Amino acid sequence: MNAVIYEALLDTISAPIVFVDNDHVIRYLNKAAKVRYYEKRGYADLIGKSLFECHNAESETLTKKIYNRLVEGENEVFLKVSDDNQKITVIAVRDAAGKLIGYYERFE
């Protein structure tokens, strides 16, 4: 499969997916994430920017702690229940060798 197919597949998921690399740089947003962050929250051009540019210092500290847990081997870390009653979990993305290549938040 190629990138076009992968992107189309991810765009069918109704929950936002924001993939962030190991440097905490936003690399991908699916369609639902673009609606949530661009249309509803007024952000623009998040791809290529640090995740921490749109988070406060407390969120940055928490994110780095969660990231360290992913580096140490955890695959899912519960973050919180959002204001709109969605459970948010941070999910590790690993390559075929099991090396962490980034992470995203899962909304349920």
- DSSP codes joined into one string, 8-68: HHHHT-SS--EEEETTSBEEEE-HHHHIIIIIIT-----TTSBGGGGS-HHHHHHHHHHHH
E strand or H helix that includes residue 107: strand 100-107
Tell me, what's the pLDDT at 38? Answer: 80
Tell me, what's the pLDDT at 26? Answer: 94
Tell me, what's the pLDDT at 61? Answer: 95
Q: Cβ–Cβ contacts within 10 Å for residue 16, how many? A: 19
Question: What are the pLDDT tens digits along the chain (108 aa)?
Answer: 788 999 999 999 999 999 999 999 999 999 999 998 887 777 788 899 999 988 889 999 999 999 999 999 999 999 999 888 989 999 999 999 999 999 999 888
Q: Which two tokens stand for residue 97?
A: 């060798």
Tell me, what's the pLDDT at 65? Answer: 97
| Domain annotation for the chain: domains and CATH numbers | 3-107 (3.30.450.20)
